[in-house]
Amino acid sequence: MGKWLVLLIVIWFIFWVLKSLRRLKAKTHHNSTDGIEDMVQCHYCEIHIPKKEAIVADNHFYCCSEHYQLHSQSDT
């Protein structure tokens, strides 16, 4: 009888550990979405870059100052 009780406790402990790990994994996965950034498209080369790295001029986004200058020169 004692062996069955020990076996039952071990099985319960394994399930409890697995359940805790699953909750922890779900919690860390949920927090990983906090790092998502807005992306914008360069008006000149159409590459997508993070909005915080983009250069904003004339209500358009550019990936670098060179592309802003090239686009400005092509307009004139």
Q: Domains of the chain: which residue ranges? A: 2-34, 37-75
Is 29 a residue whose pLDDT tops 70? Answer: no
Q: What is the CATH number of domain 37-75?
A: 3.30.60
Whole-number pLDDT of residue 1: 81
DSSP-derived letter for residue 65 is: H
Is 24 a residue whose pLDDT tops 80? Answer: yes
The percent of residues in the chain predicted with pLDDT above 90, rounded, is: 64
Alpha-carbon gap, residue 62 to 53, rounded angstroms? 9
Q: Which helix (H) or strand (E) holds 55?
A: strand 55-57
Is 32 a residue whose pLDDT tops 80? Answer: no
Q: Which helix (H) or strand (E) holds 29?
A: helix 2-31
Is pTM beyond 0.75? Reply is: no
